[in-house]
A and B are shown apart, each in its own frame.
Chain A
Amino acid sequence: MNMTTLSNQTRKDNRREEVQKRKVPRAGKGFATALRYLLLVLVSLTMAFPFYWMVISGLKTNDEIWQFPPTFWPETFRWNNYVDAWQSAPFARYILNSTGVAAAICLIQVINSSMMAYALTHMRFRIKGVLTGLILVGYMIPSTAVYLPSYLVLSELKLLDSYTGLIVSNCVSVFSIFLIRQAFMQVSHELVEAGQLDGASHFRILWTIMTPLVRSSFAVMVLITFIDQYNNYFWPMLITKDPNLQLVSAGLRSFFVEGGAYGLAWPQIMAASAFTIAPLLILFLFTQKTIMQSVNITAGVNKN
């Protein structure tokens, strides 16, 4: 099946090329392609430049970084800046905090999103329509708008300044439910019925039949959630005051304001920013196919 579509695609491509050849003279086409590459290279370099600037500025001496016009290459590579920055604030701890919290949130979201999505797609009950509507509205209203009352709720529950509070308040995501619901809708209902005839419970059908079928959607969901939570700043900053509990964004920001003495130790600040983003860029390099796939699925969400 895949093979035929593929060859269909190539045939179409060939045909398209023929048409193009007929329309555009060769020299013109060559020029257009060159222009296209030139533009793409320029834009891509511009987009990547801030990353380069971050890493390079982290390697300069303090005098060098305050020099105008700035240099694009440091005289000597001051790797020591990175070591300094790493040691002047508990960055290892911050990164570990973020990773742990994000992983816990991912795990819980996998469970509750899949159960909710399963109920919404393959079970019959009265308030199904209401729930679907509720989730749709939840997608539209920014969660930041309710941070104040959520803060009060957490404080009532005595969960401020704790990972439990951070994890529990983030443990459900409308987006994740959407994503999994979208995937479960593609699974034929007959599969569920067959499972029921064999005497399997819904729980068992969900975990042994449905979940393996939509593995790739789960991968997308986990990656997007992980990245979101690792980068999360506003909410964690509001509810955790204990420096030991800080996540990496908040930790970096305090280093920027206090430890880095607001702009006096720029090379260290840039070095710290660089190793804060490094884990994510590496994760992205290895999983970019899956992450890009999220676009395919999210784009499908709005059609329902």
Chain B
Amino acid sequence: MRLKLWRETEAVLFTLPALIPLLIFWLGPLGYIVYLSFTDWDFMSPDKLFVGLDNYSYLLTNSEFYRSLKVTLLFGFGSVLPTIVGGLALAMLMNSKIKSSGLFRTLLFSPWVTPTVAVSIAWSWIFEPEVGLANLLLGWVGISPIGWLKDQNWALVAVLIVTLWKSIGWSMVFYLVALRNLPSDLLEAASIDGAGSWDKFRSITLPLISPTTFFLSIILTIQSLQAYDQINVMTQGGPAGSTRTLLYMYYQSAFESFNVGEASSIAVVIILICVLLSGVSFLLGRRLVHY
């Protein structure tokens, strides 16, 4: 009996070095932010006044909030979809025997390793409206210059281009692993049966790599909800809120306008979106993904 008790205690002791910081910096704050979202605190006043659901009802009647929600969705779709499709396309290009594929892989993957702040600064120079490279390229194909980061119709596109540039090589490497693990017998059998490349891709490759697609869509969606660095460097949420995602709005209302209550309610919305997405993906994963 005492031995068993010791065994339990020892195991819990092993988890403590990770568990204590997890509780202090992750689980605790998670509870704390839900509580804060019911108050109207401003960082300064000693008391936190309980205001019930006021912050939430304010959010739901605030057009800025809906605008941010829309930007968040556009950013999510605009970054996840091309990253997945592009990553798969590149992986298909690299999949057959290619000379110096290591070199290609290095070139394509390197943006992922570099600090977002530094590369975003370089990209803002490329998007410079007067002398920037992006407008030079457009000029070559006969398109008139775009204001890019200064134009509310294009700023989000510019931020998305950088985001895609950073992550496409990363998703390609995931697909390379998945493609390498495909059973070649199955593909050969299909070839012998006269299946064309497109048929093979659609009815064998695509279903068999669905776990990778599924995993990438979850991770990339969570990453898109966390995107901050490139927005902060390139646009600061502007112009006119056209790149202000929910996370950016949360940051601004917390650390620029000091509305802790309102900021917390936005954070809770972000967390709810994640919980919802994980729930949906869990159900979908059971049904659609072939392991």
Contact = CB atoms under 8 A, between A and B. Distances in A.
A181 B255 CA distance: 37
A303 B136 contact: no
B173 A50 contact: no
B153 interface: no
B30 interface: yes
Given A44-B104, A249-B115, A70 B133 contact: yes
A113 B18 CA distance: 7
A172 B165 contact: no
Interface stretch (B20-28, B55-63, B67-75, B77-85): B20-28
Interface residues of A, number: 97
Contacts of B115: 230-231, 233, 248-249, 252, 276-277, 280
B126 A296 contact: no
A230 B117 CA distance: 11
A140 B177 contact: no
Given A123-B10, A146-B33, A153-B25, A253 B110 contact: no
A118 to B, nearest CB: 6
Interface string B1-35: 00000011011101101110110111111101100
B184 interface: yes
B108 A43 contact: yes
Nearest to B31: A149
A273 B255 contact: no
Contacts of A146: 26, 29-30, 33, 267
B110 A296 contact: no
Contacts of B271: 141-142, 145
B119 A148 contact: no
Given A47-B165, A299-B215, A252 B118 contact: yes
A140 B274 contact: yes
B19 A57 contact: no
Contacts of B30: 141, 146, 149
A266 interface: yes
Contacts of B29: 146, 148-150, 152-153
A266 to B, nearest CB: 6
Contacts of B132: 70
Given A142-B226, A280-B114, A299-B177, A285 B10 contact: no
A103 interface: no
B198 interface: no
A172 B24 CA distance: 11
B267 A148 contact: yes
A273 B14 contact: no
Given A123-B11, A284-B110, A299-B177, A148 B226 contact: no
Interface stretch (A125-133, A185-193, A213-221): A125-133
Interface in A92-136: 111-113, 115-116, 118-120, 123-128, 131, 134
B121 A269 contact: yes
A196 B19 CA distance: 25
B173 to A, nearest CB: 5
B275 A141 contact: yes
A168 B113 contact: no
B113 to A, nearest CB: 4
A15 interface: yes
Contacts of A292: 105, 109, 173
B64 interface: no
A291 to B, nearest CB: 7
A243 interface: no
22 contacts: A12-B184, A19-B192, A43-B108, A47-B108, A48-B107, A57-B125, A70-B132, A70-B136, A115-B17, A116-B18, A124-B11, A131-B19, A143-B26, A145-B271, A146-B29, A146-B33, A153-B32, A172-B17, A256-B121, A269-B125, A288-B105, A291-B113
Interface of A: 12-13, 15-16, 19-20, 23, 36-37, 39-40, 43-45, 47-48, 50-51, 53-54, 57, 65-70, 111-113, 115-116, 118-120, 123-128, 131, 134, 137-138, 140-150, 152-153, 168-169, 171-172, 174, 177, 202, 227, 230-231, 233-234, 238, 248-250, 252-253, 256, 266, 269-270, 273, 276-277, 280-281, 283-285, 288, 291-292, 295-296, 298-299, 302-303
Given A36-B98, A126-B8, 4 more contacts: A124-B11, A140-B275, A148-B264, A283-B113
